[in-house]
Structure 1
Amino acid sequence: MLIDHNNLEEYQDPMNYDLEFGGETKKYNFYLEVARLNPGEVLELACGTGLTTIYLSKLGINITGVDISSAMLAYARFKAQGLPVDFIEADARTFDSEKRFSMIYLTGNAFQAFLSDEDQIALLGTVYKHLEPNGVFVFETRNPMGTDLSNQEETIWGEFIDRAGIKVKVSGIQSYDSRNHIMHWVTFRDWGSKKTTSRIACRFTDNDTLKRLLTNHGFSIESQYSDWDKTPFTSLSSSIISVCRKSEELGSTSF
């Protein structure tokens, strides 16, 4: 399995992570709606600080979150005090539980953190094993056809207000490995008095390959959207949001 330890660099400051990336209410409500349409226990893989997990738990969803980062999970547990939600430290490729879930999902484009065919297949094996019969699997990923994959020098990406009330400027560079379909991003966060650097790698999978991968590993695709408003997916959409159903029989494992 292809492991990029730099991918964990983005997840060492969970409080500021929430301030930079939190507040995506449309996304949270999308997953909430799917969960309510598929009653039962829910599993979020790569849950991070529990931004979506906790939102669903507060609204009555019986949910478990799994993540590989101990720092992110520690903050998730702190935020979730008093809620009936479990957080488990584990690798989504090898996670093993006796529980079976009516819905399993990944968000935050976490699917792209699985950097090889082997990684993706291991993830889908985890999902298939832990879904109840006819269970639903939902995730989003950036669409390579709708994304600028060119190599870029440092560019301003945005800003956020940190936990101390300081405005942090965010910029970065990107370099695309077309052979392996992996984008390498380097992110700079500038507080004025200090500047941090973190690296992350994300794999881009085109939709034809994605459909074949899902079908071959036991899933039927029910819907694909381009955004949280359920706009139908097109070839040039920036995102692919896939709602899949566990098939009765596991398909061929050939890629």
Structure 2
Amino acid sequence: MPPRHDLPSAKAASERGTAPHGNGSTDPADTDAGFTDAGHTHAGHTDAGYADAGYADAGYADAGYADRHAADYDRWFGKPGITGATVDTLAALAGPGPVLELGIGTGRVALPLAGRGLEVHGVDASEAMVRRLHAKPDGFRIPVTLGDFADVPVSGTYSLVYAAGGTFFELGDRKAKERCLASVAGHLAPGGAFVVDAHVPEALAVAAASGVPETVADCDDHLILCRRVIDASAQTYHSHYLVHEADRTRHFRVRFHYVSPGELDYMAERAGLRLMQRHGSWSREPYTRHSTYHVSVYTHR
């Protein structure tokens, strides 16, 4: 089954409000064994079946989510096979470096990329996630700026900027995405590449309409199911996650704002970027009418 791009992630920074997060938002209900936690802002991380510290929500993030689940994030949502293909593709595009990850989370992608000899920097909204990254072997070598990645709050230029695991679509609306793209263009070195991945909205809608929950993880010690509900009028969808382990079930709901590949290309053009290549997976399969997600690579016009 193709990897997803939207698990609750610690990668982002929400649109504003109270938290400096630029990616999704947990809805007011983050329910733990039947008890609801309201009003916590998740830092946003991304993707289902994909990713990293993250699986994304989008909109207005809940900082409390990352703090509550940072310790379990890698165990619940790590995807070694997908991570390997992601790192291979990014390393091939990286050039001399340095490289920058938007929504670095606990370092699922950043650490093995740094292990290839690249200088990796990151941006993330969650201090808890970044603490997990820096506690890992060699994690302390990766500098991370805390803040909203919609603003790309760093200095200097990078030969590669990327947002993996659907993290870019944690940004809550079109304006936040346009702001991020313009900022990326300003930090991209000549000949550099910007890489994002995402669901193809039409395929996402077909899967959601089936009403069948996706099995995100089925391990000896836990089971994670995901059910998505789409609001096409607002170009958003909610992902409902049930995490069952040790006779305890937790429910949380996260929100994403999606755009089509064509819309993304148009926004990138307005920011001074052009599509260089598009694949149907991180393994660089061709992008076709049958593709359910895409990996898109942009460079300066």
Deviations 1:141-175 (A, max 9, x none): 111122235357573524354xxxx6111123321
| CA drift at 1:80 | 4.4
Give the Cα–Cα distance (whole angstroms) in 2 for the partners of residues 208 and 186 of structure 1. 27
The aligned counterpart of 2:257 is 203
Cα shift at 1:211: 1.5
Query: SS of the counterpart of 2:282?
Result: coil
* 8 Å CA contact 1:177, 1:183 repeated in 2: yes
Alpha-carbon distance in 1 for matches of 2:172, 2:289: 22
From 203, 217, 220, the counterpart of 1:159: 217
**Structure 1 gap ranges (5+):** 248-255
Verify the 8 A CA contact 1:173 1:187 in the aligned structure 2. Answer: yes
Match of 1:66 in 2: 123
TM-superposed deviation, 1:27: 1.5
Within 5 Å, give how 1:57-206 maps onto structure 2: 57-81=114-138, 84-147=141-204, 148=206, 150=208, 155=213, 157-161=215-219, 167-206=221-260
**Count of residues in Structure 1 that have an aligned counterpart in Structure 2:** 241
Distance 1:244 1:96 in 2: 20
What displacement does 1:123 show?
Answer: 1.1
1:27 corresponding residue in structure 2: 86
2: CA distance, partners of 1:124 / 1:228: 21
In the alignment, what sits opposite 2:21?
Answer: none
Q: Say yes or no: does 1:236 pair with 2:290.
A: yes
The aligned amino acid for 2:25 is: H
Indicate the RMSD between aligned Cα atoms, in angstroms: 2.2
Task: Give the partner amino acid of 1:150.
Answer: A
Q: 1:29, 1:5 → 2: CA distance?
A: 30
* TM-score, normalised relative to structure 1: 0.86
Residue pair 1:57, 1:83 contacting (<8 A) in 2 also = no
How far residue 237 of structure 1 moved from its aligned partner, in angstroms, is 0.8
Distance 2:91 2:137 in 1: 17
* Alpha-carbon distance, 1:97 to partner: 2.3
Conserved 8 A contact 1:222-1:244: yes
CA offsets per residue over residues 160-193 of structure 1, 9 Å max, x none? 54xxxx6111123321111111110111101142
Q: Give yes or no for contact 1:224–1:243 (8 Å, CA) kept in 2.
A: yes
- Shift of residue 218, structure 1, vs aligned partner: 0.9
Q: 1:212 and 1:129, CA in 2 relative to 1: closer, same or farther beyond 3 A?
A: same
Larger Rg: 1
Identity over aligned pairs, percent: 20
Question: Which whole-Å CA distance do the structure 2 matches of 1:40 and 1:239 have between them?
Answer: 27
Task: Kindly state the Cα deviation for residue 90 of structure 1 after the two structures are TM-superposed.
Answer: 1.3
> Comparing 77-86 with 231-240, which one deviates more in the overlay?
77-86
* 1:5 paired residue number: 25
CA contact (8 A) 1:188 1:198 kept: yes
Output the CA distance in 2 between the equivalents of 1:2 and 1:63: 25
Tell me which amino acid in the other structure corresponds to 1:88: T
Structure 2 residue ranges without an equivalent (≥5): 1-13, 17-23, 27-56
Mapped partners of 2:209, 2:229: distance in 1? 5
